[in-house]
Chain A
Amino acid sequence: MSRLQVVSGKGGTGKTTVAAALALALATEGKRTLLVEVEGRQGIAQLFETEALPYEERKIAVAPGGGEVYALAIDPELALLDYLQMFYKLGGAGRALKKLGAIDFATTIAPGIRDVLLTGKACEAVRRKDRGGRFVYDYVVMDAPPTGRVTRFLNVNDEVAGLAKIGPIHNQAQAVMRVLKSPETAVHLVTLLEEMPVQETADGIAELRAARLPVGRVIVNMVRPEVLDASDLELVRAVDRSALARSLSAAGLGGARRGGNAEKLVDPLLAQAAEYAERHALEQEQRAQLGELGLPLHELPLLAEGMDLAGLYELAAELRTQEVS
């Protein structure tokens, strides 16, 4: 099991949710995980229903069986100041640099450098050991940028190679790449059973593979429950409407005769079923395409009550059942 679990996915697929559920699942039974946010959206705080996370590793949840989930929202500016402090003992001069815009410059404008700092921080957490020589975190889960940008984000080496040819940033990038391209890392992609996310997942996997980054699993999120099975769907097309009206009437929904309340339900209910059938067929198509990717495929259910903290634990349990963690 890779110790750095990177979770990406198209916008709107719920990658933050899946990353958080994965962190919870991996923490089960006394383990400790760190959930890392790199895009400054404070999505983790919202999900765990806590106030905004500072740039500081902080315990945010307890997993079943006594495990712990820590969270960290990495702020690139503070990461750079940290870094300068660590290597150059800058102290107050760091603040002067910030005032001049140098920090902004280095973290925002100079492309790739920001990413080196973000991935560097995560890799540092992966490798960090306590005094006893034990890893501080059993797993680090990163809520990474969306699929379209994740390869560039992780492939920091290429990114900075053309820019910083020597110097500590260059060395840092090399060290980060050693972790990211090793089996210590797995990049998972979250998708929905919809055309664009599935297409983007396929494209993303091709890009990751081309960059020789280790692709992990495909996680299909928000899968709707199967309400009507194949024989139901077949019957939807052929059913005798008055028989259906009588059945609804027998269920206590009013009269089956024309104009009766049960009879008036037949058309709208069948229309909803037809919609269901159409969507179901599209979903099957997408499922088949995902199957062709040749990666472990997992499905997480759509939570009927919307996403909340309880739902997060539900998804974590589901991930454990499916042996994703």
Chain B
Amino acid sequence: MTAEDQGEAEGRGTAPGGRGGADGPGGAEGWETAARRLVSSRVLDVDALLDDPKTRIVVCCGSGGVGKTTTAAALGLRAAERGRKVVVLTIDPARRLAQSMGIDSLDNVPRRVKGSEGEGELHAMMLDMKRTFDEVVEAHADPERAAAILANPFYQSLSAGFAGTQEYMAMEKLGQLRARDEWDLIVVDTPPSRSALDFLDAPKRLGSFLDGRLIRLLTAPAKLGGRAGMAFLNVGMSMMTGTLGKLLGGQLLKDVQTFVAAMDTTFGGFRTRADATYKLLQAPGTAFLVVAAPERDALREAAYFVERLAAEDMPLVGLVLNRVHGSGAARLSAERALDAAENLAEPGIVDQADGKAGLRNSPDAYGSSQPPASEAATGTDASDEGSPADEDRSVDRLAAGLLRLHAERMHLLAREQRTRDRFTARHPEVAVVDVPALPGDVHDLTGLRDIGDRLATGAPTERPAEPS
């Protein structure tokens, strides 16, 4: 560890919010929770957002592995339990979470989730991108033409595999759900893209390709050739289709042409749909939440996302920071904890001096007026576990372990704080809410409810232990 890091850990660990720097661990106010250390300048009011009837769509976005899906589901449940009729659109939920919500059957329609409390309703669905695409085709083409499109190899590949189809279909589904107007609130999870921004770009990209110049050229050469002054373009085009044909094989090109021709006549262009989705995202009833974890990469991506949303006029309401760590003993710095652990790890010194009992009975240096804890009681407890000295040694070993564990936690806290400070410096305007780290994954409504509580209250990561 560098000297700078030590200074930082010490400074942040013992002087939350600049208070009580001189107190050290011996300060009179006692150990306090660390969670408050991680409060940013603005706190996101989740309940106000969820309760506002004007909020119709909440989009959760962020890089992969930061808990987007869990956040979306927890927000949906909370909104439902606060009386709203909610649908959660998830892309790729953990299997057990999907099972517990009853949406693991992949039928691509919202299902009522059983077990939510209160007046509202929670519905949820998992996106099946191929099915969504098929449905778009079926809804807009007569049965014969639809069958032709669905059987087209280019379509099959496009609907199942194209990087971007999932994003496009998520947005398509969002548009459909919104159009049905059956829900007060739609919470949508975004796909685990290579870049968190893909879902903004993909619809436009897909739309502009399928509706674009190239496709026109490929599908309508006769029309073009007939126009005066287009000779140059025509030459360019035949060279191009020739090259593409050579490169991809003539059959592919033919497949593309048939596919686009069939699509083109059946519904009014992908671009129109893409534009409509895009406008929906900019609409006043939409709220973007960027989800991140207090780690360098995730927050860098989050900062990028914040900037991108602003550039696109997308309404950002705040940052959900998942997996934030805290400590109930944050005033004990990592360095002091490690020093103390080292003291315990050298039993020889204490034993030789026979001073252990003396040390153990040393009066509290800070003048506690409480009566001493019963010493006799511990002696009898230990009677069947070897000598009191052995017992002391194993307790010392444990104490040293606990202190090392604490030091590790304090280093983690300092690192999270640094990462976070960097984000806040770049985007002080963004409201933030912390969700504390949990040891395991969330699998059920109880877990989601707990996350929802923490989202809404920004509750301390660990409540300080009450003196008994």
Q: Which A residues fall within an 8 A CB radius of B?
A: 10-13, 39-41, 84, 88, 90, 93, 96-97, 100-102, 104-106, 108-114, 145-146, 148-149, 152, 159, 162-170, 194-197, 199, 225, 227-229, 231-232, 235-236, 239-240, 242-273, 275-276, 278-279, 282, 304-307
| Range for the number of chain B residues in contact with chain A | 35 or more
- Residues of B near A304 (CB, < 8 A) are 1, 408, 411
Segment with Cβ contacts to A, from B47-55, B210-218, B281-289, B422-430: B210-218
Assess whether B405 is in contact with A227, with CB atoms less than 8 Å apart.
Answer: yes
Q: Does B397 contact A (CB under 8 A)?
A: yes
Q: Tell me, in angstroms, the Cα distance from A13 to B295 when the chains sit together.
A: 12
- Residues of A near B163 (CB, < 8 A) are 108, 111, 114, 149
14 pairs across A/B with beta carbons < 8 Å? Answer: A11-B63, A93-B243, A100-B240, A146-B194, A163-B248, A228-B398, A243-B395, A247-B396, A251-B343, A257-B371, A267-B465, A269-B406, A276-B405, A304-B411
4 smallest A-B Cβ distances: which pairs? A255-B364, A12-B65, A11-B64, A267-B465
- Residues of A near B96 (CB, < 8 A) are 195
Q: Tell me, in angstroms, the Cα distance from A108 to B215 when the chains sit together.
A: 14
From 347 to 378 in chain B, residues with beta carbon under 8 angstroms from any chain A beta carbon are: 350, 356, 359-360, 362-366, 368-375, 377-378
Q: Does B104 contact A (CB under 8 A)?
A: no
From 398 to 428 in chain B, residues with beta carbon under 8 angstroms from any chain A beta carbon are: 398-406, 408-409, 411, 415
Assess whether B340 is in contact with A163, with CB atoms less than 8 Å apart.
Answer: no
Q: Which B residues fall within an 8 A CB radius of A?
A: 1, 5, 25-26, 30-31, 63-66, 92, 94-96, 153-154, 156-158, 160-164, 192, 194-195, 205-206, 209-210, 212-214, 217, 236, 239-240, 243-252, 255-256, 296, 298, 327-329, 332, 336, 339-341, 343-344, 350, 356, 359-360, 362-366, 368-375, 377-378, 381-382, 391-392, 394-406, 408-409, 411, 415, 439-441, 462, 464-467
Assess whether A12 is in contact with B64, with CB atoms less than 8 Å apart.
Answer: yes
Assess whether A100 is in contact with B411, with CB atoms less than 8 Å apart.
Answer: no
Q: Tell me, in angstroms, the Cα distance from A245 to B375 when the chains sit together.
A: 11
- Residues of B near A269 (CB, < 8 A) are 329, 402-403, 405-406
- Residues of B near A248 (CB, < 8 A) are 340, 399, 403
Assess whether A242 is in contact with B162, with CB atoms less than 8 Å apart.
Answer: no
The smallest C-beta distance from B411 to any residue of chain A, in angstroms, reads 6
- Residues of A near B66 (CB, < 8 A) are 12
Assess whether A268 is in contact with B356, with CB atoms less than 8 Å apart.
Answer: no
Q: Tell me, in angstroms, the Cα distance from A239 to B399 when the chains sit together.
A: 10
Contacts A165-B249, A196-B441: A145 and B194 contacting too (C-beta < 8 A)?
Answer: yes
Q: Tell me, in angstroms, the Cα distance from A96 to B465 when the chains sit together.
A: 70
Q: Tell me, in angstroms, the Cα distance from A243 to B210 when the chains sit together.
A: 74
Q: Tell me, in angstroms, the Cα distance from A195 to B441 when the chains sit together.
A: 7
Name the one of A10, A96, A258, A268 contacting B373, with C-beta atoms under 8 angstroms.
Answer: A258
Contacts A100-B236, A260-B370: A167 and B246 contacting too (C-beta < 8 A)?
Answer: yes
The smallest C-beta distance from A88 to any residue of chain B, in angstroms, reads 7
Contacts A12-B66, A106-B244, A165-B251: A247 and B162 contacting too (C-beta < 8 A)?
Answer: no
Assess whether A247 is in contact with B365, with CB atoms less than 8 Å apart.
Answer: no
The smallest C-beta distance from A86 to any residue of chain B, in angstroms, reads 12
| Chain A residue nearest in CB terms to B362 | A249
| Chain B residue nearest in CB terms to A196 | B94
The smallest C-beta distance from A57 to any residue of chain B, in angstroms, reads 22
Assess whether B373 is in contact with A109, with CB atoms less than 8 Å apart.
Answer: no
Assess whether B94 is in contact with A96, with CB atoms less than 8 Å apart.
Answer: no
Assess whether B244 is in contact with A257, with CB atoms less than 8 Å apart.
Answer: no
- Residues of B near A90 (CB, < 8 A) are 243
Q: Tell me, in angstroms, the Cα distance from A261 to B365 when the chains sit together.
A: 9
Assess whether A166 is in contact with B249, with CB atoms less than 8 Å apart.
Answer: yes
- Residues of B near A225 (CB, < 8 A) are 408
| Chain A residue nearest in CB terms to B215 | A105
- Counting chain A CB atoms within 10 Å of each CB, the highest count among B31, B92, B371 belongs to B31
The smallest C-beta distance from B78 to any residue of chain A, in angstroms, reads 22
The smallest C-beta distance from A308 to any residue of chain B, in angstroms, reads 10
Known: A164-B248, A167-B247, A248-B403. 15 other contacts (CB 8 A): A11-B64, A39-B194, A111-B160, A164-B251, A167-B246, A167-B248, A195-B440, A232-B397, A244-B402, A248-B399, A249-B364, A255-B364, A255-B366, A258-B371, A267-B465
